[in-house]
Amino acid sequence: MSQKPQGTALSNCPGCEEPLEPGDLFCGACGYDLSAVPAAPQDHPTIALNVPAESGTEAGAAEVRFDRRDTSDEPAEPGGPAGSGGSAGSGAPGESGDFELAAPAPPAAAPASAPDPRTPAAEPLAATPPAGTRVCVACRAGSVDTDGYCENCGHAQPRERDHMEQELGSVAAVSDRGLRHHRNEDSFAVSTTALPDGSWAVVAIVCDGVSSASRPDEASAAAASAANEALLESLPRGIHPQQAMHEAILAAAEAVNALAQEPGRAMEHERHRHQNAPACTLVGSVVADGLLVVGWVGDSRVYWVPDDRANPPARLTEDDSWAAQMVAAGLMNEAEAYADERAHAITGWLGADAYELEPHTASFKPDRSGLVVVCTDGLWNYAESAAEMAAAVPADAHQRPLHGAQVLVGHALDGGGHDNVTVALLPFAVEPQGAGSACGTP
C-alpha cells in the first residue's frame, strides 16, 4: 500500500500531467491555459450515503470523504476510519451532516488518490495530446526524448515523484519537490486497516531522504513502504500500536540497510560523491482505538493541532538533530540553535551507517478532537513552533485533509520551498466524554 503518485487525470494538467491546484487558471509548470477546458461541474463525484459503511468493510476499501463531518446528532459511526467522528469538541458548525462514502471499490483500487472535486475534472482528458507526443514543458516546442529530456532545449521533464498526493479515507498526504531541489527525496505512505475488534486504525508514514547520502530518494521510498507494510501486518493482529510502531521503524531501518548492499545502482552522476549508505528520516503516526501513537527517527515531526483552536497545539516529537541536542543540553535557546547552520544536522537516521538505531515512540490519549500533522522539515522550517503550525493549518483541515495538506505544502512553497515538502494529515476524533490525558513516553 505504498503511496502512488497522483494518477487521476482529473486533477492533472492536460499538457504536462502536472497536478493542478483548485482554481488554477494556468498550469503552474507549463503554463497550459486551463480556461480552454470546460469547467468541471461542482458536484462531488462521490456517492452520498446516509448509512455509514459497515464495519466489516475491508480495510481501505472505501474512499471516505468527510466533507461536512460534524454531526453531534449522529449516534454512532462504526465504520469510519476516523473512529467515532463528530463531537462537541469539533469546531465545525452544528448542522447535520453526512458521511459521504465512495462506492465501495475493490481494495486494489484504494490507494489511488481520490479525485479532487475542486479541480477541473474529466473533460481535460480530451485535450491531452495523443499518446507518444509529449511536448516539453519548458520550451513548448520540442518533443520529449525517451530519456526524459527535451530534444530541443534539453530541459528535464517533470517526474512522477515531483508532486504526489494521496487521500485515503480521512487521511491524506501531499509531497512536493519544492522550488529549490531538483528531485523529490521525500516519500510517504498512508493507509487504513481494521483492528481485531473491528475498529479502524489509520496510518501515516513520512520519510525524508538524507541528501548527503547516495540514493536518498530510494531510501525514503523503501522506508515509508516498509514501515507501512509492517503496521498493516501487525495492527490487525492486535499488537499494541506503540509496539507495532516500534517494530515498523525497525522494519524500515532494515529496508534502508538492504539498499546499501545493492551494488551498482548508484546513478552515473552521483559517482563523484562519496558513496554514503542510503539514509532517511522517518516519522509515523497511528490513530487507533482512541490512541494517538507517534514514532520517529531523525528530524521529521508530528504536531498536534486541536480542532478547537482555543486549546494549545503541541509538537509531539523531539528531533534527533544538532539543534535539539543543543537545546536539550541547555547550551542554546531554541531561537539560537535553529538559526545556526548546523541546526539541521541530524543525529539519528535510518541507514546502514547509523551509529545506533534508537526508534522513539510515544503514545497519547487526547481528550479532544484534533488534527495530527506528520511532516518533514521542508514544512516545519516555515512553521517551526506548534503555534505557527496551528496557524498554518486551515480551520477545516480535519474535514478536508487533502485540501489541508495542499494548503500546508503551499505554505512551505510560499515561504521559499527550499526543501522537499511532505505532509500527512490524520484527523483524530473523540467522544465528548473521552477522558484521560497524555500518557506518553517520548
Partner 1 sequence: MANFAKSNVPQFSVEVYQNEYLPEGGREVNAIVTVTSTGGGTTGGVPLSGAGVTPARASGQAPRAAVVIMVDCSGSMDYPPTKMRNARDATAAAIDTLRDGTSFAVVGGTHVAKEVYPGNGRLAVADARTKAQAKEALRALGAGGGTAIGTWLRLADRLLGAADVDIRHGILLTDGRNEHEAPEDLRAALDSCAGRFTCDARGVGTDWEVKEVTAIASALLGTADIVADPAGLAADFTRMMENAMGKEVADVALRLWTPVGVEIKFVKQVAPTVVDLTGRRTGAGPRAGDYPTGSWGDESRDYHVCVQVPQAGIGQEMLASRVSLILPDPSGGAPQTLSQGLVRAVWTEDMAASTSINPQVAHYTGQAELAQVIQQGLDARKSGDFDGATAKLGRAVQLASASGNEDTAKLLSKVVDVVDAATGTVRLKAKVADADEMTLETRSTKTVRVKK
Q: Which is nearer to partner 1, 237 or 272 (CB)?
A: 272
183 or 315: CB nearest partner 1: 183
- According to the binding rule CB under 8 A, does residue 418 interact with partner 1? yes
Restricting to residues 83-122, which ones interact with partner 1 according to CB under 8 A?
Answer: none
Tell me: does residue 341 bind partner 1 (CB under 8 A).
no
The answer to the question of residue 273 lying near partner 1 (CB under 8 A) is yes
Instruction: Please list the residues that pair with 262 across neighbouring strands.
Output: none
Instruction: Tell the smallest beta-carbon distance from residue 30 to partner 1 (Å).
Output: 14
- Beta carbons of 231 and 192 less than 8 angstroms apart: no
CB of residue 406 vs partner 1: minimum separation in angstroms?
20
- Phi then psi dihedrals of residue 49, to 5 deg: -120, 135
d(CA 118, CA 137): 24
Contact pick of 39, 153, 395, 439 for partner 1 (by CB under 8 A): 153
- Cell 549508505: give the residue: 277
Q: What region, left, alpha or beta, does residue 241 occupy, with left being phi > 0 and alpha being psi -120 to 50 degrees? A: alpha
Judge whether 402 and 174 are in contact, CB under 8 Å. Answer: yes
Q: Which of 9, 112, 156, 438 binds partner 1 (CB under 8 A)?
A: 156
For partner 1, which is the closer residue by CB, 144 or 171? 144
Smaller CB distance to partner 1: residue 18 or 167?
A: 18
Cβ 37 vs Cβ 14: under 8 Å: yes
**Does 139 contact partner 1 by CB under 8 A?**
yes
- Binding residue (CB under 8 A) for partner 1 from 271, 310, 355, 435: 271
- Span from 12-20, 154-162, 329-337, 370-378 in contact with partner 1 (CB under 8 A): 154-162
- Among candidates 213, 35, 8, which has minimal Cα distance to 122? 8
| Grid coordinates given for 161 | 515523484
Burial class (CB in 10 A: 0-12, 13-18, 19+), 441: exposed
Q: Which residues pair with 288 in a beta bridge?
A: 201, 291
Q: Which stretch binds partner 1 (CB under 8 A): 112-120, 153-161, 287-295, 348-356?
A: 153-161
Binding residue for partner 1 (CB under 8 A) from 7, 149, 254, 345?
Answer: 149
Q: Tell the smallest beta-carbon distance from residue 269 to partner 1 (Å).
A: 5
One residue of 155, 240, 309, 315 binding partner 1 per CB under 8 A:
155
Interface with partner 1, residue 150, by CB under 8 A: yes
Contact 254, 226 (CB under 8 A): yes
Q: How far apart are CA 99 and CA 434, in angstroms?
A: 22
Asked if 13 contacts 20 with a C-beta cutoff of 8 angstroms, the reply is yes
Hey, which residues between 160 and 219 contact partner 1 (CB under 8 A)? 177-183, 211-212
Q: Which residues bind partner 1 (CB under 8 A)?
A: 139, 147, 149-156, 177-183, 211-212, 268-269, 271-273, 418
